Structure formats: structure tokens, C-alpha cells
A and B are shown apart, each in its own frame.
Chain A
Amino acid sequence: MGFIMSDNPPKDIKQFFFNKRWWIITTVLLVVFTLWTSEFQQANTTSVLVSTLRHSTPLVLGAMCGLLCERSGVINIGIEGQMLMSAWGGFMVASTSGSLLLGVFAGIGIGMMMGGVLAGISVGLRGDQIIAGTVINIAALGITSFFFSLGRTLPSGKAQVIKLGPLADIPVAGRVLFSNKPITYLTLLMVPTLWFLLFRTKWGLRTRAVGEHPSAAETVGISVIGMRYLNVIMGGGIAGLAGAYLSLEAVGSFERVMTNGKGFVALAVMIFGRWNPVGAWGAALLFGYASAIQTQFQFRDWLTDDPQFIGIIPFIVTIVVLAGFVGRARPPASIGQPYSRE
């Protein structure tokens, strides 16, 4: 993925496929598995793929938030809290105002604000980034639980599917790719956009420099602190979008602890995707699939008596990924370390 995994470009197209052999093998295996469990029926296959995309959207958004922060050198453990607060805040605003759009903006805004808090503590005050993120998580849990009141609804229901004309009529692909809800489309567009920004623009080069070797960036006149603030806040906005997605597009209401660990799975997605938006997208699809096949298990009557075993699949997969891949993945060199000029 010379133009995709731009940290170490391969020499030619053959090497590209060789480098990505694990992705390719996995995809093939999963496709076969899906077709088999859905007994080659179009409807079932489609529903699995749709479900995969649905589950993966908040994960890839969370991962993009995480990688934006970490590429600049800041660990963001608080994605879970950011998503939760935005889901709640977006829902409250949308149900009060009647406007979904306003709710989405509120969600993004809350995410950015919490990003600001994280940046303030870890960049401004040079505090421990993991503690800062945990504080955000706990605060979000407490605040959303306290202020939550049952019975609120969205006046016009959750976000609706927008079909992209004739493209939506293509079998399977039409339903999966071209009949989606707004934030889902936005997410699909954000992935290549963020990739391009990160690897082809001035901002991207400087961000990566700041994350790998902040003092080198500082000595050519880049403000490390400025870039970190900017990126952490922007990342927070993306996490906010993920939260808004959950309450306004996916579910249509707010439930306590509705994020249920997605913010942390997003971190595993980020690591698995090697801090690269496209890689993260692939990893998110994988995890989304792990969640989606829970329905397949039910459909096939596997383990229906013991649903708890199905429930743990995404979490086990996360652990396996983390244990299997972290050792070989190389994070941006300066993450976790506070930066000071003197």
C-alpha cells in the first residue's frame, strides 16, 4: 500500500499484494464464511454486510480520532467518554430542538470541548495522558447518568436512509454502499480525506513530525503545542460525530452507557490499522463483522442458549488483535510523553 500505508512505500504492485497478504486471506475467508452461513442467500448476505458497515462506523470514527491525537503524540484514552457525552448531548439537543442536524453539531461540539480538556491537561499542564483520558471517561459516565431522564424521544425519529439514485438498486452493493444514512456516508468520505491530508499536505507532514520527534519540529519553527491542541480538539470533534451517530442515527435514543466499550475497541482498531485511516477502516470492518455475525449465530441457531458466549466475541477479538499485533506495530515515537521546550 505504497500510497496507502505511506510510512514505508513498497516497490511495485506485486510487493503491495505480498505486504497485504494477511488482509487478503482474511477477507477471502470471511467472505466464504458469510456466504456459507447465509446459505448463499442474497438477503442474508446483504444484511450481514449492512450490519458490518453499521457496526464499523463508530469504530472507524473513534479510530480516526485516536490516530489524529496519537499521530501528534497524544494518547487519547478518553474516546469512550467523548463518544458517550456526545451521544447524550446530541440527543438532548435534538430532542429539545426537534432538529437532528443541530443535535449532530452539538455532538461534535461536545467532542471538541472534551478534546480541549484533554489537550489542556496533557499538553498545557503536561500531565499524564492516560490519567487525563480516564478522568474524561469517568466524568462522562457520571454526568450522562445523572442528567439522563427516561422517556425523551426524537420528535421526528432517527436519521433516515438516503438512497443514491439508480446506484442503490444494484444488488447487494447497492443496499450496502449506496443506501446509507448521512453520517455513514460522511464517514466513508472522511477516510480517504483524512488519509490524503495526513500524507500529502503540509499539515499532515508537520503533524507526523510532531508525533515522531517533537523537538525536531520545534527547531524548524513548528509549534508543537499548537499542533497538538489543534489535532486533539479536531479529533474530539470526530469522536463527537461518532457519539452523535450512535444516538441519532443508529439507535434513535440515548441509553446509559450506550457506548459499551466501543471507544476502547476503536483504540485497538487504530493500532491494528497502524495509525493509518485506511488501515483503521479495514480493521473497523473486521471488528464490525465480528459484531455482525452475532446475528448470524442466532440465525444458524448456534449458541442461542448461551448468548453470553456470542456477546464476548468482539472483546476477545480485540484482545487477540492487541496481543498479536502490537508487538509488531510501531506507534508514533513521542506518544505518552509530555513535551516541553526547556
Chain B
Amino acid sequence: MESKVGRQLPDDIMNELGFKPFETTDFGNPVIQRKAPKVRASTGQGKVVNSLEDVVKKTVRDGMTISFHHHFRGGDYVFNKVMRVIIDAGYRDLTLAPSSLTGVMNDTVVEAIEKGVVTNITSSGMRGSLGDAVSHGLLKNPVIFRSHGGRARAIEDGDINIDVAFLGVPNSDVMGNANGMEGKSAFGSLGYALVDAAYADTVVLVTDDIQPYPNTPASIKQTQVDYVVKVDEVGDPDKIGSGATRFTKDPKELKIAKSVNDVIVNSPYFKDGFSFQTGSGGAALAVTRFLRQSMLDNDIKASFALGGITKPTVDLLEEGLVGKIMDVQDFDKGAASSMRLNKNQQEIDASWYADPANKGAMVDQLDVAILSALEIDTDFNVNVMTGSDGVIRGAVGGHQDAATAKLTIISAPLVRGRIATVVPKVTTVVTPGDSVDVLVTEVGIAINPKRTDLIEALSNIPGLPVYTIQELQERAEKVLGTPEPLKFTDRTVALVEYRDGTIIDQIREVED
């Protein structure tokens, strides 16, 4: 079978797992029966457990689905500590369902796969040695990659049935009232973990800081929590988020950022009360700075900024240029530590953020999204998952979700070294071209031909040449040469889910 973006999908696996191929970006208005978690009633006696060994023994059984969040990012200790206990105890056939997998978890996951402890994985992404191992066929069953909104949907609908969620928190009381914004390992928003706390059958909080009862503000509530475990340290504060945000000096990134700003300012969406989401890359941060100046110059204020938050966005909030920050995760310390100071920096869960199977998600209200790309093809399909060698080295993240914005801008260099970013066909389709509106490169922009309104609005802007995306692709190929096609085996190592639960593409095992 084939998804609507023309990708062949493996019939046998699709049928076995009950997946349907991707059809449309329009979710429609289906009526959905959500799953409810099991609740073991308690007055709260005996929630505190002294060791991870004890809590794992109480909660985990062979074949279960266990989850983690990735808000500690590169400074996470919880995942490796819990998984060490699980691996050493010799559990089998677990499904790993974290919100994402960061580089510090790679060695542990590879070991767990090799020992048969983990036999299924669903995640937003994976990189480094783990992505390499999976792309070379280490895991027998295909990984299911889901967006942050898609994961929330899958958990609510029961596609992911979490038996035990191990959620690291920088503070908690003995009953399990906890937040992400206080304590020495604070990371800000608990956005992705809140879905796990609400839907997992068993919720285990792991913390290094027990606060007096009742601990407030409580993002995770005692009504949701089965066990609280105290460990020495939950994370490395220096590695949780990047420190001071670096403003790019790369002239190519600055040129792209300025052009992105030109696109926004000249679009019909740049008016008082508009909303936006930017990512965390160098160019995205530079866009925030250019956008600030344009907002000042034109006396325009944004109603909200959405998604993963960085310090420059918090600065806009504190300056009064942005009304609210709707914060599902924090990319740097400045954003993480400002959450408890700014009442207008609202923590939102992944479902509120981006779940399509909802009575309205924030991404549906979003005017402008600025997103990155490893590759974008002449149908505007975007790959943020596999590298130029075909190996898994990325994450869906909120890409598919934020791309539902009214103006979705992909900001990317035309070429990276000898690798073209604009290609005839992307290696892996993650975000369908239907939801992408404008590509901004250092040489010019390309507008999705379906957006005739934007073609009219954005043509004839000084310093902003408009090309067709085919012209940009040919220009890149002329400079770089035509690459040999990548070689893959017939084996499927991963499926990429669209946010509605259909499958948009597969990732096959690389052939070396």
C-alpha cells in the first residue's frame, strides 16, 4: 500500500499492526472514545519507596509498556538509573514509550535491545549510536515515530497503553504533588510528562528533592501518582538546557533569518494579536530578534508564542511584545527558570499543545510556525528524521503539529557542505507538503503553488527573490552534482506516523 505522499508501505507490517496509510492533513471531526487508566485506590499511605529496585519490582512485569519524558534533555539521570535496574533484573520484551530519546540514553537503549529487555520502541526520535544501530537492523520490530501531538493522541486513544510511567521531577512531596520549575534540576514545563501522568496505569515519580506537603504549584497531582522514589540526583543542571543562548554570527543563518522575518512581516498574518512558534536552532533564535524589531517598528504585539521556548521568547514576554507564552517544553535555562516568575508563561501539556484528536489544540490557533528541515523536496514534503546517509538521526518533535499553522515556514540552507537540502524526493517524509507554505533559503524563497494568496503577497519584495522550488532544487544540484541514490534493504526498521495515527512513510534498513 501507499501513503498519499507516494510512499510505499509494507503491507504485512501495516496489516499486522492495524495501521492505515496517510491520506490527508485534515483530521475532520470524528467522535473518539478515549481510554481510561486503571486506578489503584489509595489514601496515600506507603507511596514513598526507598529504592528504584523496590519500585521496579513492585510495578514492572515482562511484556509491559514503560514510559519516560525527555525534559531533562542532555542532563537526564532518571532514564539510565531506572533502565539499569530493569536491565539488571533481567526483564524481557518491554515496550519503551518515552516522549523522546536523547543522546545520553543511547548506550542504555542499545544494551536493552541487545539483551532482549526492550523489543519495541515508540518515540519522537533518536540519534547517534542508537539511531545508527536501529537503522542497521538491531531492533526486530519497527520503531514507531510519533510527533508530540501524535503521541498524546496515541496515549489518549489507547494506541500506546502505558503500564508504568517513570517520571523524573526536580521536586515532589510524599504524595506526588510535583512541578518542573523548582529545585536544582528544574527544567520548566512538564508538558510531555503530563499526558503520561494522566493516562499511565501506574505512575512513579523519581525525585531528588522531597518538599513539605502539600507541594505547589502542582503540575502533576497526588491523585495521579502511585509511588514516589527519592534518588541522589535526577539530573545534571548544567546539561538540562543549553546555558546562555548563543546568537548566531553565521552570515548564511542571519540571511535566512532576515528573509524569514521579511516573509512574516509581509504576510497577511502579521497584525496585532498574531501568534507564532519558533524552534531552537541558530536561525530560529535570530528570527526572534528580527521579529522583535519588526514588532516594535510596526507597533504590533503577539497574542501568544507557542511550543518549545527559549530565553529570547521570554524576553519578548517581559518586554510586553508577547501576551502569553504557551510552554510545552523549555530549551534553555532562561526559559526554564522564568516559568515560576512569569504568570503569563503558561505550562501546557502535549495534548493541549498539539493533539488533533481534541476539542481544539493550540496549534490549530497558530498563525506562524518557523520550522527546520534536513531535506525538503519539490512537493514541499519535509524530512527531519533521516540524515543524508539514510540513517536515523532526528525527531519528529512538534514538526507535523506546528506545520498546521496558517503560515508554515521552513527555514533551511539550500546546501549543507556537498549535501543538498532541497531535493527531488526526500529520504523520509515526516511532514507532508500540503501543510508547508514557504521555504526560505539563503538564495531566495519558494512558495507552495497552492498558496496563490501568499505568492501574491510575497512577490516583489526587495531583497526577497521568489523561485519555484524546482528552480531551487536544480540550482543546488547544479552546484553539487547528482548524488548516487542511497541503498536500503527491503527490511522496515521504522514507521513514521502522521499526527492523526496514519502512517506517512517507512524507514528501511541501510545497506553499507
Do A and B come together as binding partners?
no
